[in-house]
A and B are shown apart, each in its own frame.
Chain A
Amino acid sequence: MDQLTLLEHFIESEINLLVKLRMGNGMDEKEYENMKRSFSLLIEQWSDKDSIPQDAVQSVMEVCGELYNFSRNYSGEESERIRDAAANISTLRQKGLACDQISDKAKEKVMSSLMEQMEKGGGFFEKLQQGKGLDEEQFEEILEELTTIDDKIFFWDTMPKPLVRILISLYEMDLFVYKYEDEFQDQVEADKIYDAYERFFDLIVG
């Protein structure tokens, strides 16, 4: 099956699945299987490439965060099934995006400053993960850098995998809110992270 058809199947099943979850109608296993199948095939097709089609970026970026967030609207086995689905897709996604090379030197140049900002001070997300809170200064720099390059990166036909991974991390930043609320019991920091996430979200909306 060609990439465009697979992508259509992936996006259609992803959206159908998410809409049902949002409406409180639970996990549609058939849509999930369709989504997983088409995504697996896409991942295979992307395996020897260092970038993915721009048309895939939005769905690849949003799918796991959405699933995880919706899992919290359910309880018991249903919640677990949704969380497992999020974990499975996340594993597939990691496999599919595991590439640090960027063959397109022009794109690499555009991204280089953002990647540096992300890695500064031991890594923005590493610190967040360790419970060190949101480095507000670093976040401002990251957001500023993104604002500088967003009129380029979102218009490329394909997006380098390392950049997709950065966008995914930023898109899923709201999941850290739960971690800071539940695990670290730090509501102030959780609120800061949520606000930061919303600012990033608004940046990727037209």
Chain B
Amino acid sequence: MKKIKQPYLLCFFIALMLFPFMQPINTSAERAPLADISTLATVSSVEADGGFLEPVTDWFGSVGDSIENTIDGVEETVKGIVNYIGELIGTVDEAISSFSSGNTYSSDGVEEIQEKVNQADDLLKKIGIKPKSGEKIVYRVLPDKQDISEGIKARRPDRNMSIAGHVRNGSKENFKGSQFISTTKSFDVALDNARYDINNDRKPQDLRIVRIDLNKVTNKYYDLTDPEIQEKYLVTKAGKPFQMVRNYANSSQEVLVEKFIPKEAFELIGRPSEFMN
């Protein structure tokens, strides 16, 4: 009986462990380029996840409690740093394979995964990016010349550029700036952009990252991964999804803030060379 149940237990456990790693909106939007497919997939996947998690966690009962507690504690943070944790634990795929390939996965696997999650959690605490309760955190990589002593200013606050225009043109060499300030919900994206110049052949660099609490941002901001925001701002003239721009925004987990971020709303994390060592 125990042997029969073990694979099921394992499957549910993996699903539970991977839940925080899933970003259904992003994934579905990237895989479904056409308008109607994307919208449907997004809605259905979110609903399915919500319905799926509940019975699984109930079913696990006391066995899963300790794992759940760990996950609850890191869930918010992990959402934004999925790949980074992947790196820390030797990629998520490796974690899954090490978990599923062994025959003694029941207790050893749990301990191993718990240990790795704890390691990641410790590192997040160490570098000071673990969100406190109620915080809505995004990150921004600062160009070396940018002075943030008075806050973070948009390059061209006087412009009246469309949101889609900013996303489409922001990574181009000849971009002249806009009234928006780009930030990302993903620490992994911020870290990558801080370490490598993705607009210049991924040349190594070491730029500062700031951690911004959107609750303290006084101007309007737009979470471009939010399907409602996408429906409103990332559409073509014909009212259809502007899929290329949506996928750009999804891949970089982009949140745009209008014109200015007050200094009270952010704290400097530092350069990767400072907190990675």
**11 A–B pairs (Cβ distance < 8 Å), ordered by A:** A19-B248, A22-B248, A23-B198, A23-B252, A24-B197, A62-B244, A72-B172, A73-B201, A191-B176, A201-B162, A206-B237
Please give the residue numbers on chain B whose beta carbons come within 8 Å of chain A beta carbons, in ascending order.
30-34, 161-162, 164-165, 168-169, 171-174, 176, 192, 196-202, 235-240, 242-244, 247-248, 251-252
Residues from chain B with Cβ under 8 Å of A206 in the complex: 235-239, 242
Chain A residues with CB below 8 A from B243, complex form: 11, 15, 58
Which positions 1-57 of chain A face chain B at CB distance < 8 Å? 8, 11-12, 14-16, 18-19, 22-24, 54-55
- Given A19-B247, A205-B242, decide whether A58 and B236 contact each other with a Cβ distance below 8 A: yes
Q: A19-B251, A204-B236, A205-B164 are in contact. Are A69 and B173 (CB under 8 A)?
A: yes
Residue numbers in A under 8 Å from B171 (CB-CB): 22, 73
Contact B235 A154 (CB under 8 A): no
- Shortest Cβ distance from A22 into chain B, in angstroms? 5
- A203 within 8 A of partner (CB): yes
**CB interface residues, A 137-187, toward B, < 8 Å:** 150, 154-155, 174, 177-178, 181
In the complex, the answer to whether A174 meets B237 with C-beta atoms within 8 Å is no
Instruction: Tell whether A194 pairs with B174 under 8 Å between CB atoms, given A201-B162, A205-B165.
Output: yes
Q: How far is the CB of A81 from chain B (nearest CB, A)?
A: 13
Q: A154-B238, A206-B242 are in contact. Are A15 and B33 (CB under 8 A)?
A: yes
B125 → A minimal CB distance (Å): 28
Contact (Cβ within 8 A) A59 B165 = no
Summarize B's interface: helix, strand, loop or mixed: loop
Assuming the A-B contacts A150-B237, A154-B236, A154-B238, are A178 and B174 also in contact, with contact meaning beta carbons closer than 8 angstroms in the complex?
yes
**Which residue of A18, A69, A190, A204 is within 8 Å of B237 (Cβ)?**
A204
Interface positions of A (Cβ within 8 A of B): 8, 11-12, 14-16, 18-19, 22-24, 54-55, 58-59, 62, 66, 69, 72-76, 78-79, 150, 154-155, 174, 177-178, 181, 190-191, 194-195, 198, 201-206
How far, in whole Å, are A155 and B168 apart by their CA atoms in the complex? Answer: 23
Answer whether A154 and B248 are a contact pair too, CB < 8 Å, given A58-B242, A198-B165, A205-B162.
no
Of chain B, the residue at the smallest CB distance from A26 is: B202
